[in-house]
Amino acid sequence: MSAVVCLVTAPVANAPRIAELAVERELAACVNVVPLVHSIYRWQGGVQTDEESLLVLKTTPAAVPALERLLDEVHPYDTFELVALEVSSGSARYLEWVGATVGPNARS
């Protein structure tokens, strides 16, 4: 079974709802919310810092476009982070569970 881990940062107040929607809509089998990360990044010509949450989503490659549409809908940033990392190996039972849990909405 093919799986990806997606990384998404979001404001602390928005992260739990984004995670919940991703699981409710069957776009991710599981989302870990790391409650506080200190982000330092270049934006609009300057260095910015923010306190954010990090979402770690376990999903399938087919679900990434639908996940991006969800983020377009609910994420407060115009330019949000969505990075999908291919899982090269792992627990076969876990990866099968991810594939079986991500639903048909993820393929549309």
Confidence at residue 104, expressed as pLDDT on a 0 to 100 scale = 72
* Interatomic CA distance for residues 58 and 40, integer angstroms: 25
Q: What is the pLDDT of residue 1?
A: 72
pLDDT of residue 105: 63
Q: Are 103 and 26 in contact (CB under 8 A)?
A: yes
Q: Which domains does the chain have, with CATH numbers?
A: 4-87 (3.30.70.120)
pLDDT at 38: 98
SS3 labels along 4-28: EEEEEEEECCCHHHHHHHHHHCCCC
- What pLDDT tens digit does each residue of the chain (108 aa) get? 799 999 999 999 999 999 999 999 999 999 999 999 999 999 999 999 999 999 999 999 999 999 999 999 999 999 999 999 999 999 999 999 999 999 876 655
* Phi, psi (rounded to 5 degrees) for 45: 85, 0
Q: What is the DSSP secondary structure assignment for residue 44, as one 8-state letter?
A: T
pLDDT given at position 107 = 59
- pTM as predicted: 0.93
**Vertex 63: Cα angle to 82 and 85 (nearest 5):** 45
